[in-house]
Structure 1
């Protein structure tokens, strides 16, 4: 039996003696019946849009509101703890330095694991990769130093993203800040801006929307394309505008969210679809995915459904992890539009394609929890998903 506190327990704890159930419902713009059912355990979860509203009403982040998803204990011991130690550099590592060839391969391998959703594998491999790259950088000469700076920056950057998804924001922040500092030494402002964009994304995940907006827009301004610009510069600039739009959407600012989405769409029309620049993905398909996510955050499910159908090449043009994230949004939309069977089928395909990612993300839990309160609740396929995610 799980010893985790339920969402209802967390809501009750956070509102405490400050708000009654009715007062909380009024602040969130939701039905008091929903708040009551959550606290009584009659509902185990609710829609993503409602979760955002409850979190804002309680003046906490979404991450603070939701009960963390557990990672298997052996993975914590062997992976996350070691990774936390590796990104929190103290002194000079004594590991065998990575060769130049190993350094170049490490960044390719790390991003491959990240984009394919193999975060469990990354947890095992990253600590040693980071230590060996740190040793290589410490021992490098002036000629080789840029190679180690680039590779270590990229690996720490990816490690920060993995740690964010596994709910270790403090270690993720350390890893990403070091990645930004190392990239700055290389004198590549676009790469530095891309790494900073990753930090802006972390702030969105943490519910620090105003900070994410400020960081995204100030960083975008620092690389704004002029008469002479590169495709990479355009891609990273557009991605930063999307971060601003996404953070405004999650804060409930529809006008600003759509403004930055439209600006990013104009940039996307000028670059190849699915362009990878400094491990930042951009293009028309990325716009469709982010448009879907932004519309869901705003509770505009009809607009989100339309946006999800505008992806030029379909979800398969995106990396596996991004496909899974977008398909989870689609599963939510099928649920909202009365197509529970399609929602269940899509969630099952995600579970098979990226099982570790699926088990350790909040959105699939929310969708499965909602599906359990529909006529499809007796579906064997849905029951299997519920057991996998420990949702009741």
Structure 2
């Protein structure tokens, strides 16, 4: 049976009336790669190649991998439909404006659900919270606008995970307007960091890089006297810029940006929480990013060695820890440490079972590992694939 990637690649290519050679030339990859993917002789490829193929077919990488949209439970994307109506705001809900002091802990709880990977609960909470925040922004001005900006930011982040990236950008548009109304420069910059991340998920590397780099330049702090929040937001923007540059294949530039991320992390003198980032920023995050850059450079063995130096990944929020472990699993899969990759995926499932099906990297790893069962037993893989909704 052809992999989901191979089947999608073939169907989308034929839909656009392209030959395998046409697609290969347009994507800048070898025709042999296209042929092997479509024939099921290969089930995964480098992230840069996957992105190039998706762009040549005018789809997102998630579309190419057959990633499902929305939440797996609930009535036909009902939760996403409610979020869509809230984001569009065509018929604003009649909500009595809550006091900012009452709304602030509700916004904090929304962020907690996001970083815990509890997408179902978060999706149910957001529509009501968005209505409250809009009312608070109208009533109380800048303090309410700041909370509205945060809510639209977390809404955008969730929508991107659920493969509704364009709706995520709409949420961020309102979030950035609200951040400007709040008068908080760092809040606006953190919105731009999320915008860069969403663009990266769509494979729009140059656009993601531009947003992250230009915003980082506009808020660049003097490290010797900058606050924790200033350094954290600047470092996060550089981290997203590093992702975009590494994924676009410019490895020397990615290393230069990684050096700046590491400099910002060193200035933190440990992992310190920033409300603008929503988690701790510091050496642990920088060390995780080094693993990601090595993977983008197709150096899985080096990535595994770097992963051994990440000292406290479990100290970060569950969602961040889980996403990092998926990078480790990718490196293990690429280095033919197949059982290690399976075991790492099962660790991710134990940490954040609800968020795992929404991770395209997880689906790609499983698709690559399944055919290896012809030569390796790989206990635990089939059950994991079934729970992910992937045909074994």
Q: What is the TM-score when the length of structure 1 is the normalising length? A: 0.89
Structure 2 runs not aligned, ≥5 long:
none
Cα distance change, pair 33–208 in 1 and its aligned pair in 2 (3 A): closer
Q: Distance in 1 between matches of 2:60 and 2:358?
A: 18
Cα distance change, pair 359–75 in 1 and its aligned pair in 2 (3 A): farther
2:189 is the counterpart of 1:190:
no
Q: Number of matched residues?
A: 383
Deviates more, 1:107-116 or 1:97-106: 97-106
**Displacement, 1:61?**
4.0
Cα contact 1:377–1:383 (8 A) shared by 2: no
Partner of 1:74: 74
Match among 331, 334, 354 for residue 332 of structure 2? 334
2:215 is the counterpart of 1:219:
yes
**Displacement, 1:236?**
0.9
**Displacement, 1:331?**
1.2
Q: Distance in 2 between matches of 1:370 and 1:244?
A: 28
**Displacement, 1:19?**
5.1
Equivalent residue runs for 1:1-392 within 5 Å: 6-16=4-14, 20-22=19-21, 24-25=23-24, 32-41=31-40, 43-46=42-45, 48=47, 50-55=49-54, 58=57, 61-70=60-69, 71-72=71-72, 74=74, 76-90=76-90, 92-138=92-138, 140=139, 144-226=140-222, 228-280=225-277, 281=279, 282-313=281-312, 315-375=313-373, 378-392=377-391
Q: RMSD of the alignment, in Å?
A: 2.5
Corresponding residue SS for 2:273:
strand
Cα contact 2:65–2:364 (8 A) shared by 1: no
**Displacement, 1:25?**
4.8
Q: Distance in 1 between matches of 2:376 and 2:285?
A: 33
Structure 1 runs not aligned, ≥5 long:
none
Corresponding residue SS for 1:344:
helix
Cα distance change, pair 210–31 in 1 and its aligned pair in 2 (3 A): closer
**Displacement, 1:22?**
4.7
Q: Distance in 1 between matches of 2:117 and 2:254?
A: 28
Cα distance change, pair 52–298 in 1 and its aligned pair in 2 (3 A): farther
Cα distance change, pair 94–286 in 1 and its aligned pair in 2 (3 A): same
Q: What is the TM-score when the length of structure 2 is the normalising length? A: 0.89
Q: Distance in 2 between matches of 1:26 and 1:170?
A: 28
**Displacement, 1:368?**
1.1
Cα contact 1:285–1:312 (8 A) shared by 2: yes
Which whole-Å deviations, capped at 9, do the CAs of 1:43-100 have from their partners, x for residues lacking one? 5544545423533565654234332224326255331110111111235430343333
Cα contact 2:338–2:378 (8 A) shared by 1: no
Q: Distance in 2 between matches of 1:212 and 1:354?
A: 27
